């Protein structure tokens, strides 16, 4: 992966129409995740913090040949989760903690090609999640971070290793904690 490819995928995401099912918000970064999965063909993608499931849904849409595991410590949107399960056989919902789940999920499913970090958006939690999953990243992996304008996330972003790229246009609205970035291994 390289900066040029990420920018092409981001532009495609911005130009796309949102997924028609209105239970999922129309966020452009969802469609970026879809195009990223279509480009990388990861055997395993992970979303930390599923909430309404828009991220996992689009990872599933992007590449049906790989497994998508969405991890959340709450089950607040059962209808959305049911919808994704019914429509995408490659989706697994994991009710548990984003950090504690890492070792077991890696044991069961192998290395992670796409990791989407989107839970509490604090410096401490973000770095803990990154460190928990870092040993399990595939040789060709991309880690995506949402809500980089939240307090403390600038420090997290600064400490994450290069190469990295901000694609804030995929999640606008800094006043509400938008902002989006990717780091990658190869
Ligand atoms: C911002 S929402 C996720 C949004 C979703 N990724 C999307 O793009 O639509 C954050 C979610 O993280 C979950 N969460 C917070 N702390 C967590 C933790 N330690 N482990 C797993 N999930 C957590 C919350 O329950 C919430 O559903």
Each residue's pLDDT, cut to its tens digit, for the chain (186 residues) gives 999 999 999 999 999 999 999 999 999 999 999 999 999 999 999 999 999 999 999 999 999 999 999 999 999 999 999 999 999 999 999 999 999 999 999 999 999 999 999 999 999 999 999 999 999 999 999 999 999 999 999 999 999 999 999 999 999 987 778 999 999 997
Residues having CB within 6 Å of any atom of ligand 1: 47, 49-52, 54-55, 71-74, 97-98, 118-120
Is 103 in contact with 122 (CB distance < 8 Å)? Answer: no
Q: What is the pLDDT of residue 173?
A: 82
Q: What is the pLDDT of residue 83?
A: 97
How buried is residue 107: exposed, middle or buried, by Cβ count under 10 Å (0-12/13-18/19+)? exposed
Contacts of 167 (CB under 8 A, 6+ apart): 6, 7, 10, 29, 32, 180, 181, 182
Atom of ligand 1 nearest to the CA of 29: 8
How buried is residue 151: exposed, middle or buried, by Cβ count under 10 Å (0-12/13-18/19+)? exposed
pTM across the whole model: 0.98
Overall size of the chain counted in residues: 186
CA 73–ligand 1 middle distance (angstroms): 7
Is 185 in contact with 137 (CB distance < 8 Å)? Answer: yes
């Amino acid at each position: 992966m390289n900066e040029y490819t990420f920018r092409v995928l981001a532009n495609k995401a911005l130009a796309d129409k949102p997924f028609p099912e209105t239970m999922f918000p129309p966020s452009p970064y969802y469609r970026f995740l879809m195009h990223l999965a279509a480009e990388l063909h990861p055997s395993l993608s992970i979303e930390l913090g599923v909430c309404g499931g828009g991220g996992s849904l689009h990872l599933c849409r992007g590449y049906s040949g790989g497994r998508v595991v969405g991890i959340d410590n709450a089950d607040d949107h059962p209808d959305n989760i049911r919808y994704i399960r019914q429509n995408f056989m490659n989706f697994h919902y994991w009710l548990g903690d984003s950090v504690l789940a890492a070792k077991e999920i890696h044991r069961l499913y192998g290395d992670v090609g796409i990791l989407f970090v989107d839970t509490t958006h604090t410096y401490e939690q973000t770095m803990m999640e990154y460190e928990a999953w870092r040993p399990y990243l595939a040789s060709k992996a991309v880690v995506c971070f949402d809500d980089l304008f939240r307090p403390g996330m600038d420090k997290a972003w600064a400490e994450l290793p290069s190469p990295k790229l901000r694609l804030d246009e995929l999640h606008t609205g800094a006043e509400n904690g938008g902002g989006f970035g990717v780091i990658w291994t190869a």
